[in-house]
Amino acid sequence: MDVVHERCAGIDIGKADCKVCIRVPGRNGRRHTEIRTYSTMTEGLLALRDWLVSERITLVGMEATGSYWKPVYYILEELMETWLLNAQHMRNVPGRKTDVRDCQWICQLVEHGLVRPSFVPPKPIRQLRDLTRYRTEVTRERTREIQRLEKLLEDPGIKLSSVVSDLSGRSARTMVEALIAGERDPQALARLALGKLRDKEAQLIQALTGFFSDHHAFLARAMLQRIDAATATINELTAEIGRRLHPYQRQVELLVTVPGLSLTAAQIVIAEIGVDMQRFPTAGHLASWAGVCPGNHESAGKVTSGRTRHGDAWLKGVLGIAAAAAARSKSTYLSAQFRRLVGHRGKKRALVAVEHSILVSVWHILTRDIPYQDLGADHFINRIHRSRQTRRLVGQLTQLGYDVSLQPHQTV
């Protein structure tokens, strides 16, 4: 095979050390191979970098191994081209599996141009991604703590969640704090309701009648403290994310024009894919990388699987929320697309299709620097040939027992 990269290296990374193989031009036109082992401590990584620089290595490939690849990648990316490689693209020869063999195999694949690098965003986007992902995790933990509080209240027969829609709301929070403080009178607790919840006083009295004890009060107090701590952390992260996104404010404002994409969702999208779409030649490449398009697996003329690939789980999660919100929107292309597909493809496939449309729109918005332009709820109706639509509707009425005669509408 032809040599595409003359001076390259392959790294197999572990927690404690990494095996490094380099391939460089040797004597008599042959390729010279050398393998070394370095510690993954900072001192060892600096020695590894110095060795690669001394050998004039221009390209380094490494397998994405958990989070162990990050310090190696970050210390090399500024001095030479560094590729993060997908493990699925580097199936080794069966029966030859060792760390040394792995680094040799990675180096040979890079040398002959048989692999492509994975997408690794620039440092500002990586830092933003850390913040948004941590905020998502803390938000999920806060939600789990609220659910634990709900289950705790069910134990003494307090059915507050059957009347209020949100246990973290002001009214519910005031009632729970009063229970913790020692108030047990259901009528007194029900009078703490605010706003429209006051109209449900009779239901609240029934829901707040139970056997709440000091034991439940102790646990509820601990849960509220964790909920408050999570809320404070979320607020701090949101403020820092807003500060980091200040250079990308234009892109955020454009993305929120897409139906279903909230400010938080737009922030996560930018943190996951960045704002430079040159890394993704087409919108289809971005959809494939994210895992929101049908899988492609055909053999002997038979399609064996159409499942979506795993893709970016963080991006898919926020796209799923955005797709559900867009499906409930009024008079939009995305809601019309969902209604068109849900009947014969099912809800899950219809939502994935909407996710795909949202991400395609995101690619065009960031590429062209233009706001979202909705095609309208009647897009699919107008796209179908008018006579075909007419025959279908007339046929349905005929099957119901009606004689149909059509008269073209006269416009004045």
The answer to the question of residue 301 being in a domain is no
Q: What residues make up the domain containing 83?
A: 8-111
Identify whether residues 82 and 145 lie together within a single domain: no
Domain annotation covers residue 62: yes
Q: Which two tokens stand for residue 206?
A: 């029934």
Instruction: State whether 166 and 264 are in the same domain.
Output: no
**133 lies in the same domain as 47:** no
* Residue at 289 is within a domain: yes
The whole-number pLDDT of residue 90 equals 72
Instruction: Provide the pairing of β-strand 81-85 with 17-25.
Output: unpaired
Residue 119 located in a structural domain: no
Task: State how far the Cα of 189 lies from the Cα of 201, in Å rounded to an integer.
Answer: 10
**Per-residue pLDDT, 299:** 59
Distance CA 142, CA 280 (A): 35
3 within some domain: no
Query: Within this chain, do residues 128 and 86 fall inside the same structural domain, yes or no?
Result: no
pLDDT in tens, the chain (412 residues): 688 899 999 999 999 999 999 999 988 878 899 999 999 999 999 999 999 999 999 999 998 888 899 999 999 998 999 999 988 777 665 656 787 888 988 998 999 888 888 889 999 999 999 999 999 999 999 999 999 999 999 999 999 999 998 898 999 999 999 999 999 999 999 999 999 999 999 999 999 999 999 999 999 999 999 999 999 999 999 999 999 999 999 999 999 999 999 999 999 999 999 999 998 999 999 999 999 887 666 656 676 666 777 888 999 999 999 999 999 998 899 999 999 899 888 999 999 999 999 999 999 999 999 999 998 888 877 666 677 778 888 999 999 999 888 887 765 4
**36-46: buried (b, 16+ CB within 10 Å) or exposed (e) per residue?**
eebebeeebbe
Residue ending a domain, among 220, 244, 268, is 244
Residues 262 and 373 in one domain: yes
Is 116 among the domain residues? no
Specify the pLDDT at position 388.
77
Q: How many CB atoms lie within 10 A of CB 120?
A: 18
Tokens 């290296």 belong to 9
- DSSP label at 41? S
CA angle 204-209-214, nearest 5°?
120
Task: Indicate whether 73 belongs to any domain.
Answer: yes
User: How crowded is residue 336: how many other Cβ atoms within 10 Å of its Cβ?
Assistant: 20
Instruction: Give the helix/strand (H/E) hosting 34.
Output: strand 31-39
CATH of the domain at 69: 3.30.420.10
| Same domain membership, residue 257 and residue 391 | yes
Domain closes at, from 111, 138, 162? 111
Please state the domain count of the chain.
3
All residues at 6 or more sequence positions from 332 whose CB lies less than 8 Å from its CB, including other chains: 259, 326, 374, 376, 377
Q: Are residues 172 and 64 in the same domain?
A: no
Given a contact cutoff of 8 angstroms between Cβ atoms, the answer to whether 309 and 291 are in contact is yes
Can you tell me which residue has the tokens 């006083």?
Answer: 201
**Would 215 be classed as within a structural domain?**
yes
184 with 276, same domain: the answer is no
pLDDT for the residue numbered 160: 93
Question: What is the reported pLDDT for 29?
Answer: 78
- Asked if 392 and 365 sit in the same domain, the reply is yes
Same domain (yes/no): 280, 366: yes
The reply to whether 129 and 238 lie within a common domain is yes
228 lies in the same domain as 274:
no
Which pLDDT does position 297 carry in this prediction? 62
Query: Which of 49, 80, 111 is the last residue in one of the domains?
Result: 111
